[in-house]
């Protein structure tokens, strides 16, 4: 069983290396050259920070409600 899993991992690793070619994405190259890639990174970061803050506030509210129901 271990040999089959090891063989499968080796095959998947080799497929991954073959699929990675040196063709660069034109859009990413254009964004990097014009400096707009930093805007994209900042926007994505703000979205993730906002989602994390929202989830923490929901968690805080749920804990408060759970404590009130225990009493």
Of 12, 32, 14, 36, give the one whose Cα is nearest residue 24.
32
Q: How many CA atoms lie less than 13 Å away from 55 in the CB half-sphere?
A: 6
Per domain, the residue ranges of the chain are 35-71
**pTM of the predicted protein model:** 0.55
pLDDT in tens, 23-68: 666 777 777 788 888 888 999 999 999 999 999 999 999 999 999 9
Specify the pLDDT at position 68. Answer: 92
Query: Has residue 19 got a pLDDT over 60?
Result: no
């Amino acid at each position: 069983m271990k040999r089959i899993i090891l063989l499968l991992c080796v095959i998947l690793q080799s497929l991954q290396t073959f699929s990675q070619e040196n063709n660069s994405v034109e859009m990413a190259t254009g964004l990097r050259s014009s400096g707009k890639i930093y805007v994209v990174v900042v926007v994505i970061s703000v979205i993730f920070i906002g989602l994390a803050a929202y989830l923490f506030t929901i968690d805080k509210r749920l804990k408060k409600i759970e404590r009130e129901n225990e009493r």
